[in-house]
Amino acid sequence: MLCFQFLFFLILSSLVVNGQKPGDVRLVGSTLPFEGRLEVFFFGAWGTVCDDRFTIVDGAVACRQLGYNDGAERTETTGLASSRFSPGTGDILMDGLECKGDEKKLGDCPFNGWGLNDCVHYEDVAVICKFSKPSLPKPNVTSVRIACPESDYGLGTCINTCSLPSTTCNNETEVAQIGIVERLVNNSWYPIPSSDWDQASAQVVCNQLGYPRAGPIPSIDEIFPRRRCGRPRNAARCAAIRNFNDRLSKTVTEGLACIGSETSIDDCIITSYAVKQSSALNVATIQCLHDSTRIADCENYNYTNSSRELYRLRGGPVPWKGRVEVKVGGVWGSICDLSWDVKDANVVCRNLGFGYAEAVFTRSQFGRSSATTHFSGLRCNGNEDILSDCSSNTGGLLRRDAHSYCVFHSGDVGVECGMPACNKEPEVRFATTGSETMIEVNGPLGWGRLCFDNKLKYTEAHVLCRDISGELAASFGPITDLSYLGLSYSAQYNCTGDELHSSECRESITRTFCFDYTSIECAQGLPDLVPMVDQFERSLRSYPYVHLIPMYYLTCALEEQCLSSSAYRHADNLYHIRRLLRFDSLTMNYGTSQFLPSLPSSEWEWHTCHQHYHSFEAFISYDVLNKDGEKVAEGHKASFCLEDSTCRGLGAYMYYRCSTGNQGISKNCGDLYGSHLDCQWIDITDLSPGEYIVRQIVNEEAGVGESDYRNNVIQCEVEYMSNLYQLKVGKCSHSDHI
C-alpha cells in the first residue's frame, strides 16, 4: 500500500498540465506582470506560498525564475491592510522557505515539503520584482547626414529650417531639409549613389534624422545647379564649385535596399561599402518634411473624420517629450502603459511630426492626466497610421471598472521623440560664481550677466531653462553681487512658455549696469495643478440656489475683500443682504513634485479676523462672465489652509496638514475648499438674471512654477433666474479636455 501511495505521489509531482510543469511559479492579482501574489504549480494545480520565514532572498529566486534577473524589490503579506494584493484560495503548497539566493528555481530551496504547512490564506505572500522600463537605443544619427554646397556663393538651393513643425495649419506639410545624402564610412563622408536610391530609402533616412516623412526625391539641378565655374570668374566661387564637385566624385553603399520601416539606414540591406568613382549627376538627393496634419492646434483644419486622431505631449520639459494624450471621437484621453513599447511610441512620434521614438516611459513619469483613458494593451508593429489601427488586448475605450490602475492614471505613458539635430549657437548659459549660479546671455558685445527683471514670469523662466538644460524652472529670483565688474545686459522677454529657444521671445537686449542678477533653479519634474470640474459641477447642482446672507455675518469676508465693491457702501448696515453663489473647489496636483506656497512661512500674512495665515493670497480666482466673455462678477480664494484633503491612485500619500503648520499639496493629492467656507463664493448681488459662465482659475498669476498652465481653468454655463434666485446649471467643461 505504501509503495502504491509513493508511486501515486511521483505521478502527481511530475504531471504536466497545459504546458505547466511542477515547480513553475507565477504572479497573480495585478495588472502588471512583475508583481502580484506568488503561486507555485504542483499536484496538477496552482497553490499559494506562506510568508513564514519568507524573505527578500526567497523573493529574488522567484523573480529570477520568472525572468526578472535584477531580483525582488520587496515582499508583502497579502492579509495585511497595507498590501495591495488579496489572499488566494485553494492549497497552500509551500511553507518555511529558506533560500540561499543562488538557486535557479524556488523548488530548489529548502522548505517544509509540498503541501505541508500550518498557515491560512491571509499569510499568502506577494512579491514585487525589480523591473526596468523599456527604452529604445538612439539611432546612430551620425552615420548619415544631409549635405549642401556652400551658401556663400549662391551655388544652389539648400534648406535646413532647424525648427519644430509649423502650427499655422494652412498647409499639410512644409519642407524641413533638402540636400545630398551622405554616409559615414571609415571616418569619411561619401554620397550614396542614386542608382540604388528610392522613396523607401529616403523615408528611412528622414526618420533617422528625426523627420516624419520624406517628400518626392528632388533633382540635383535644384540643389547644385551651378556645377561649372562660368563667367565672370571668381576665384573663391570657383574653388567652392570645384570642392563640392570633388566631394561628389566618389560614392559608397552599393546594393542599398530598404523597405521603409527601418529605424536606421544601418538596418537596410547593403551589399558593399566599396568606394566607387561617380559624379554629381549620380548621387542620392532627399527632402525631408515636417508634417502638421495631426497636431492639436490644427484641429479645425484637419479633424474632419470621427476616426481621425489628434496627439499631444503634456507635462514634459520640451515639446518632444512628455505624457502622451490622444483625441479620439472628440475626447482627449491618455494611454495606459500595459504592453506599451517603442513600436507603439513610434506611431505617436510620427503623428507629432518627429521621425522616431527615442525613449518610452511608464508609471506616469510626466504626471497624470485628468481626462479619460483611451487605450491599454496596445500592440502596434510601428508602421500603423494611427493608434486605432493597432491591435489591443482591451479594445478601444476602457470601461471605468476595467482596472483602477489605468482608470486612476497610475500608468499613463510617456515618450521622448527624436528631435532633428540643430547646430544652433547657444544664446544663454549658466555661470557659477562661488556657490551662486546665474544666467548669462550672448549679447551684442559678447557674453554678460542677465540683470534681474521684476516682471520676469515663470513662462519666461521655463524657456530660459529649456534653452540651457532642457528642463523647466522650479524657482527664480535675484542674486546681489556688488563685486562684479563685467558685462551686464537688460533683456525684455515676452514668452508664452512654449518656445524652444529664448531668442524666439526676446524683444530687446541692451547693455546696462546692475547689482541684482537673474538666478534660476531648473528641474525635470514640477507640480501640475488641475481643478476638478466634476466636483465643481456637483456642488453647483446639489443646491442650485443663491445664498442670501446679511452683512452681519460677512464682516471678516469684507475685511478680506471677498465681496464685490458695492458691498463696501453698506458696510455699516448689518442687515443689508448680499446674494452669494457658493460652490466647492477641489484642486489636484497631478505633477511629479509637491506644490508649495510661493512665499516661505516667515512671510505668510496673518489675518486677525479669521485667525489664520494666508500662504498664497490668490490661490484660485472666481469669475462670472457674460455671453461676450466680459467679466461681470469676480472673487478669489486665498489659501488659508493649503493641505492634502484627498489622494487618488497608487503611490499617493497625505503629508501636508495645516494642523502641523505645513502647507502644500503632495503629488496625486488634492486640496478641497467646501462651499460652506467663508469666501468660497462669488458675490452676485449686482448681477441681473440671465445666462452666464462661472469660471475657476487656479494659480492664475503663475506665482508658483508648474509643468503645464493650460489645464488650470474650469467653467460651467449657468442661467440665473429671478424666481427665488434659482440657478440652472448647464454644460461644464475643463480647459484641457476640449
pLDDT tens column, 576-630: 999 999 999 999 999 999 998 877 877 777 777 767 777 776 788 888 999 888 8
Give the C-alpha separation, 561 to 368, whole Å.
35
Long-range Cβ contact pairs of 511-515 (< 8 A, separation 24 or more): 511/443, 511/444, 511/445, 511/448, 511/487, 512/451, 512/488, 513/488, 514/451, 514/452, 514/488, 514/490, 515/480, 515/481, 515/482, 515/484
Helices (H), 352-473: 404-407, 458-469
Give the C-alpha separation, 483 to 108, whole Å.
71
- Identify any residues that bridge with 550 across adjacent strands, giving them in sequence order: 577
pLDDT tens column, 6-42: 444 444 445 556 678 899 999 998 756 778 999 999 9
412 DSSP 8-state letter = B
Query: What pLDDT does 141 receive?
Result: 44
Burial 618-633 (b: 16+ CB within 10 A, else e): ebbbbbbbeeeeeebb
Q: Do residues 588 and 669 lie in contact, with contact meaning Cβ atoms separated by under 8 Å?
A: yes
Query: What pLDDT does 20 receive?
Result: 85
Give me the amino acid identity at 560: E
CA angle (297, 161, 250) in 5-degree steps: 140
- Identify any residues that bridge with 311 across adjacent strands, giving them in sequence order: 295, 326
Give the C-alpha separation, 29 to 85, whole Å.
6
- Identify any residues that bridge with 625 across adjacent strands, giving them in sequence order: 631, 693
Query: What pLDDT does 397 receive?
Result: 45
Query: What pLDDT does 255 receive?
Result: 75
Sheet arrangement for strand 529-531? 529-531, 585-589, 669-673, 646-647
What's this model's pTM, rounded to 2 decimal places?
0.65
Query: What pLDDT does 157 receive?
Result: 53
Q: Do residues 428 and 467 lie in contact, with contact meaning Cβ atoms separated by under 8 Å?
A: yes
Give the C-alpha separation, 685 to 63, whole Å.
66
Give the C-alpha separation, 172 to 169, whole Å.
7
With CA atoms as reference, report the closest residue to 374 among 314, 316, 310.
Answer: 310
Q: Do residues 386 and 347 lie in contact, with contact meaning Cβ atoms separated by under 8 Å?
A: yes
Give the C-alpha separation, 54 to 40, whole Å.
14
Give the C-alpha separation, 47 to 24, whole Å.
11
Q: Which residues contact 53 (CB under 8 A, 6 or more apart)?
A: 96, 97, 98
The owner of cell 566631394 is: 247
Give the C-alpha separation, 520 to 542, whole Å.
45
Q: Which residues of the chain have pLDDT under 50?
A: 1-13, 134-141, 152-156, 163, 165-171, 292-307, 395-402
420 Ramachandran zone, left/alpha/beta (phi>0; psi -120 to 50): beta
The owner of cell 496596445 is: 378
With CA atoms as reference, report the closest residue to 478 among 456, 462, 497.
Answer: 456
DSSP string, 115-137: T-----GGGBEEEEE--PPPB-P
- Identify any residues that bridge with 624 across adjacent strands, giving them in sequence order: 633, 694
Give the C-alpha separation, 77 to 542, whole Å.
42
Q: Which residues contact 179 (CB under 8 A, 6 or more apart)?
A: 146, 147, 148, 158, 159, 160, 223, 285, 286
Q: Residue 232, preceding bond cis, omega within 30 degrees?
A: yes
With CA atoms as reference, report the closest residue to 509 among 430, 442, 582.
Answer: 442
The CB density around residue 353, as the number of other CB atoms within 10 Å, is 29
Question: Across the chain, what does the average pLDDT equal?
Answer: 81
Q: Do residues 582 and 547 lie in contact, with contact meaning Cβ atoms separated by under 8 Å?
A: yes
Query: What pLDDT does 395 receive?
Result: 42
With CA atoms as reference, report the closest residue to 105 among 94, 115, 89.
Answer: 94
Helices (H), 48-89: 56-65
Coil/strand/helix, residue 159: strand
Query: What pLDDT does 337 receive?
Result: 86
Residue 274's Cβ-count burial label (10 Å; 0-12, 13-18, 19+) is exposed
Query: What pLDDT does 222 receive?
Result: 77
Give me the amino acid identity at 436: E
With CA atoms as reference, report the closest residue to 666 among 642, 702, 697, 698.
Answer: 642
The CB density around residue 395, as the number of other CB atoms within 10 Å, is 12
Give the C-alpha separation, 198 to 196, whole Å.
7
Q: How far is CA 103 from CA 68, 260, 395, in A?
A: 14, 46, 40
How would you write 600-654 as a 3-class SS string? CHHHCEEECCCCEEECCCCCEEEEEECCCCCEEEEEEECCCCCCCCEECCCCCCC
